[in-house]
Amino acid sequence: MSLEVLGISFDAQNAAALAGFWSRVLARDLGDDATEEFASIAPSRGDGGPLLMFRRVPEGKTVKNRVHFDLKADDVQAETRRLIALGARELRSFGENNNQWVSFADPEGNEFDLVPA
């Protein structure tokens, strides 16, 4: 058997808005056909990452997500400022200076972490 990950899907209240946030975070192109119902972000050329898909669902997020992104950065403090400016909300941080691990929520409350590279 041979399997590979096609993509990662997110439930969303507004698929285009949430995909827009993540396209800016990851510096990937938002699909031209993005709507409130469905949006996608293709992998960047050369990074081999999965397709990200966002689908509108009627219910909102109610509990902690069971899967999340762990993002890495050379400068955690600078990236923290950038993520907050894009609409992320800092939840908690551990460590000092650039040896920080920071947990965030995206604009719809999905958790993700930022760690030093």
Which residue type is seen at 45? R
pLDDT in tens, 26-77: 999 999 999 999 999 998 776 678 899 999 999 988 888 888 999 999 999 9
Residue 104: count of CB within 10 angstroms of its CB: 23
pLDDT in tens, 90-102: 999 887 665 688 9
- Pick from 11-15, 39-43, 82-86, 95-99: least confident: 95-99
Question: Could you give the CA distance from residue 71 to residue 81 in angstroms, rounded to a whole number?
Answer: 14
Work out the average pLDDT over 79-89: 97
